[in-house]
Structure 1
């Protein structure tokens, strides 16, 4: 079983790094409504499209998702 995307994303948090995935992870950490237990791309993507005002481009999520899949396989 794959770990939730949120759990992976929290490993990317860093107060000093400024790359897009790290900034995304830092913002998600502050989002209390983020679907923390989800492993589903479509569920998270839909959530971000409606609620992810902190995400400038969905390509950042796609990039983070690819890293997530690579690390968990």
Structure 2
């Protein structure tokens, strides 16, 4: 079974990092309602569009999702 997007995203955390992916991962870590078990792009995208004020652009998520597909799946 493949790992969830959230688990993949957590591998990108870095308290000293300043790039968009790292900031996304750091903020998602503190998001208690993030769909942590999901493997579904649309479910996660919908959640982020409605709830993730810490994500300045959905392009960041799209780029992270593409990297997830390339590295995990």
Q: How many residues align?
A: 73
CA distance in 2 between partners of 1:30 and 1:17 (Å): 16
2:55 maps to 55
1:30 maps to 30
What 5-or-longer segments of structure 1 have no aligned partner? none
- RMSD, matched Cα: 0.6
1:9 maps to 9
1:2 CA drift (Å): 2.0
CA distance in 1 between partners of 2:2 and 2:47 (Å): 20
Q: What secondary structure sits across from 2:14 in the alignment?
A: coil
- List, as ranges, runs of 4+ consecutive aligned residues in structure 1 with deviation greater than 2 Å: none
CA distance in 1 between partners of 2:13 and 2:20 (Å): 11
**TM, length-normalised to structure 2:** 0.97
CA deviation string 1:26-66 (max 9, x = no partner):
00000000000000000000000000110000000001001
